[in-house]
Amino acid sequence: MELEVYNIKGEKTTRTITLDDTVFNIEPNDHAIWLDTKQFLANRRQGTHKTKEKSEMSGSTRKLKKQKGTGGARAGSIKSPLLSGGARVFGPRPKDYDFKLNRKLKKLARKSALTYKAKENQIVVLEDFSLDTAKTKDYVNILKSFQLDGKKTVMVVAQPDANLVLSSRNLRKAKVSRASDLNTYEILNANHLLITESSVKEVEKICQ
């Protein structure tokens, strides 16, 4: 697959770049995408949810009333889950939601996601550039050049410079990602991928 190379003003250069068909033009595997995305979201969960059970509650253990003869239901201590302010039965406990996937499956998922983006013409290749100053306005102007301001975008670079990262940081729907850190969730969550020339080979490398 061959794509035009653009500059940051949205203008075509005289160059084109050929994307590797083994990465950007495969038979997508939806189940691999689902598993990889599920793992990514699971790893983001803190898993620190916790409620106190009866043995962990503070309070008296004195029996509130005698067992029989009151005409009401029997009652234990004030820590009983049946009473207001009491403990919780079988409440949540800290848990690690992480699970393992083999590397081949994760690579297949990334290639499948990139293939979808390529087929839907949602990949833009930019010539390598750098920003002299950290200004959000400069980054917004780049997005406006491609009519992508206000849309979810991921700019993939080989090595992000500080000015580029700082310029995009205040934009809720814009992200700058290093090619080696690119993952399936980021690819599919973005409306468009802006990939610099030097990072194309890096993206293909992590998918091989």
82 in the same domain as 163: no
pLDDT for the residue numbered 161:
87
194 in the same domain as 110: yes
Backbone phi, psi, residue 91, to 5°: -75, 170
119 in the same domain as 165: yes
Nearest-CA neighbor of 127 among 198, 203, 201, 205? Answer: 198
Whose structure tokens read 């991928």? Answer: 193
CB contact at 8 A, 5 and 126: yes
- 181 burial via Cβ count (<10 Å: 0-12, 13-18, 19+): exposed
202 in the same domain as 161: yes
CA distance linking residue 188 with residue 181, whole number of Å: 14
For residue 86, the enclosing domain spans 51-91
pLDDT for the residue numbered 63:
93
74 in the same domain as 25: no
pLDDT for the residue numbered 1:
83
| Number of structural domains in the chain | 2
CA distance linking residue 96 with residue 3, whole number of Å: 43
CA distance linking residue 109 with residue 8, whole number of Å: 29
Q: What is the pTM of this model?
A: 0.82
165 in the same domain as 81: no
Mean pLDDT by 10 residues, the chain (208 residues): 91 92 94 97 94 90 92 91 90 93 95 96 94 93 93 92 93 93 95 94 90
List the end-to-end C-alpha distance of the chain, in Å, as a whole number.
Answer: 17
pLDDT for the residue numbered 176:
94
Whose structure tokens read 């029996």? Answer: 63
122 in the same domain as 153: yes
CATH assignment of the domain containing 27: 3.40.1370.10
61 in the same domain as 28: no
